[in-house]
């Protein structure tokens, strides 16, 4: 589904050109659960911003579902992103004065769906993240783990081609992190969701199917996790 070929990324800082991603070639298939690891500053965020169609300034090839995304306009990029990527963040990024149901339904509201259809989809997706009976609550009334589940429901509601999770357990204690991991495994196994997750936590990464280690902008290792 995702294929990067000899991808290079530079940032210009004053007169200096910083080479941040170096000859990255990578293929991620539908249904995979991949963890991306690496030290701070190694280029993980830069890489997932490119994979998630947030950044189109790079050299090399990016084929998505066999089509090149090179040369697409910002508008086409926004469309690719909205139709294909479900984002999950470390700090949840829920809207404080909207209820759980409103937060989860927001992407569909923006996409022009009717309220009645949104309500049904919201109920279904809340069920798939094992959250029932909290639709009318505000984010501040929920635990961190529940808030992350709501954020995952919001990411899933548009039926994206893949989930992109940036340190999804970074703000959670070990027990709650494990619950979120279990949810990802469940979504991956039952719904065949494709999940790409950045994490610093080896214990979290080792529960995925595949670990990619980035070091100084290069893929240092890419291996299946033996279970
Ligand atoms: N907008 C920018 N302009 C210039 N340099 C940048 C920019 N964004 C990132 N960098 C540099 O690119 C390198 C890679 O950064 P990146 O954020 O991708 O690393 P990371 O592995 O995600 O780190 P962390 O784990 O701390 O989030 C770093 O050296 C960083 O300073």
CA-CA-CA-CA dihedral for 63, 79, 162, 170, to nearest 10? 110
Is pTM beyond 0.90? Reply is yes
d(CA 111, CA 66): 25
Average pLDDT over residues 38-51: 95
Percent pLDDT > 90 in the chain is 95
Instruction: Say if ligand 1 is within 6 A of residue 20 CB.
Output: yes
* 227 pLDDT higher than 80: no
CATH of domain 2-93+161-224: 3.40.50.300
For ligand 1, atom 29, which residue shows the shortest CA distance? Answer: 41
For residue 20, report the distance from its CA to the centre of ligand 1, in Å. Answer: 7
Question: Residues of the chain with pLDDT > 70: what percent?
Answer: 100
Over residues 121-144, mean pLDDT? 94
Say if residue 226's pLDDT is above 90.
no
Res 153 pLDDT > 80: yes
Q: What is the CA radius of gyration of the chain?
A: 18
pLDDT in tens, 75-99: 999 999 999 999 999 999 999 999 9
CA-proximal residue: ligand 1, atom 18 (nearest): 43
The residue whose CA has the least distance to atom 26 of ligand 1 is 40
Complex ipTM > 0.90: yes
The closest residue, in CA terms, to atom 12 on ligand 1 is 20
d(CA 6, CA 69): 14
Report strand pairing: 59-64 vs 33-37: unpaired
Cα–Cα distance measured from residue 17 to residue 144, given in angstroms and rounded to the nearest whole number = 40
Asked if residue 202 has its Cβ within 6 Å of ligand 1, the reply is: no
Q: How close is the Cα of 12 to the center of ligand 1, in Å?
A: 12
Q: What is the pLDDT at residue 60?
A: 98
* pLDDT for residue 7 is more than 80: yes
Q: How confident is the model at residue 129 (pLDDT cuts 50, 70, 90)?
A: very high
Question: Ligand 1, closest atom to CA 18?
Answer: 5
Decide if pLDDT at 34 tops 80.
yes
pLDDT-based confidence at 221, cuts 50/70/90? very high
What is the pLDDT, as a whole number, of residue 132?
86
112 CA from centroid of ligand 1 (Å) = 35
- Residue 161: pLDDT band (50, 70, 90) is very high
State the distance from the centre of ligand 1 to the C-alpha of 46, rounded, in angstroms: 6
Does the pLDDT at position 131 exceed 90?
A: yes
Residue 127: predicted pLDDT = 93
Centre of ligand 1 to C-alpha 116, Å, is 42
- Residue 83 CA to ligand 1 center (angstroms) comes to 26
Q: How far is the CA of 168 from the centre of ligand 1 (A)?
A: 18
Strand partners for 62? 4
Burial of 133 (0-12, 13-18, 19+ CB in 10 A): exposed
Average pLDDT across the chain, whole number = 95
- Using a 6 Å cutoff on CB, does residue 199 contact ligand 1? no
The pLDDT, as a whole number, for residue 120 is 92
């Amino acid at each position: 589904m995702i294929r990067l070929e000899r991808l290079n990324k530079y940032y210009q800082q004053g007169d200096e050109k910083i080479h941040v991603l170096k000859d990255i070639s990578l293929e991620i298939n539908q249904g995979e659960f991949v963890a991306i690891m690496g030290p701070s500053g190694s280029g993980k965020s830069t890489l997932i911003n490119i994979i998630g169609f947030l950044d189109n300034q790079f050299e090399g090839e990016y084929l998505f579902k066999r089509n090149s995304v090179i040369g697409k306009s910002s508008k086409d990029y926004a469309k690719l992103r909205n139709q294909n990527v479900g984002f999950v963040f470390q700090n949840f990024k829920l809207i404080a004065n909207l209820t759980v149901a409103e937060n989860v339904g927001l992407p569909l509201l923006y996409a022009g769906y009717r309220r009645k259809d949104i309500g049904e989809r919201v109920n279904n997706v809340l069920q798939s993240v094992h959250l029932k009976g909290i639709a009318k609550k505000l984010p501040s009334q929920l635990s961190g783990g529940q808030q992350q589940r709501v954020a995952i429901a919001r990411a899933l509601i548009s039926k994206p081609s893949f989930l992109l999770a940036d340190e999804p357990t970074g703000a959670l204690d070990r027990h709650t992190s494990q619950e979120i991991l279990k949810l990802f495994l469940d979504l991956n196994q039952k719904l065949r969701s494709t999940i790409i997750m950045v994490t610093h936590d080896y214990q979290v990464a080792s529960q995925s199917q595949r670990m990619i280690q980035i070091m100084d902008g290069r893929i240092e290792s890419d291996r299946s996790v033996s279970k």
